[in-house]
Amino acid sequence: MPRWASGPVGQPAYWQEACAGLTDADPAMAALVARYRGEGLVGQGDAFLTIARAIVAQQISVRAADSIWARLEAAVGTVAPAEVAARTEEALRGAGLTRQKAGYLRDIAEGFVAGRIAPARWQDADDEAVVADLLALRGVGRWTAEMVLIFHLQRPDVLPLADIGVRRAMTSHYGGGNEMSVDAIEARAERWRPWRSVAVWHLWRSLDPLPVAY
pLDDT in tens, the chain (214 residues): 455 455 677 899 999 999 999 999 999 999 999 999 999 999 888 999 999 999 999 989 888 999 999 999 999 999 999 999 999 999 999 999 999 999 999 999 999 999 999 899 999 999 999 999 999 999 999 999 999 999 999 999 999 999 999 999 999 999 999 999 999 999 999 999 999 999 999 999 999 888 988 9
The number of domains in the chain is 2
Which amino acid is located at 200 in the chain? V
> In which element (H, E) is residue 43 found?
strand 43-44
Q: Confirm if 122 and 3 have CB atoms less than 8 A apart.
A: no
Residues 78, 110 within the same domain: yes
Which amino acid is located at 202 in the chain? H
Residues 49, 101 within the same domain: yes
CA 101 to chain centre: 16
Predicted structure pTM score: 0.93
Residues 115, 50 within the same domain: yes
Which residue, of 152, 169, 194, is where some domain finishes? Answer: 152
Residues 109, 169 within the same domain: no
Which residue, of 110, 126, 152, is where some domain finishes? Answer: 152
Could you tell me the sign of the dihedral formed by the alpha carbons of 138, 141, 145, 151, in that order?
A: negative
Q: Which of left, alpha, beta for 77 (phi over 0: left; psi -120 to 50: alpha)?
A: left
Q: Helices in the chain by DSSP H: which ranges? A: 15-25, 27-35, 47-57, 62-76, 81-85, 89-93, 99-114, 127-135, 142-147, 164-173, 182-189, 196-205
Domain that holds residue 118: 44-152
Residues 63, 123 within the same domain: yes
Residues 60, 36 within the same domain: no
Q: What are the angstrom distances between the C-alpha of 44 and each of 154, 200, 211? A: 10, 18, 14
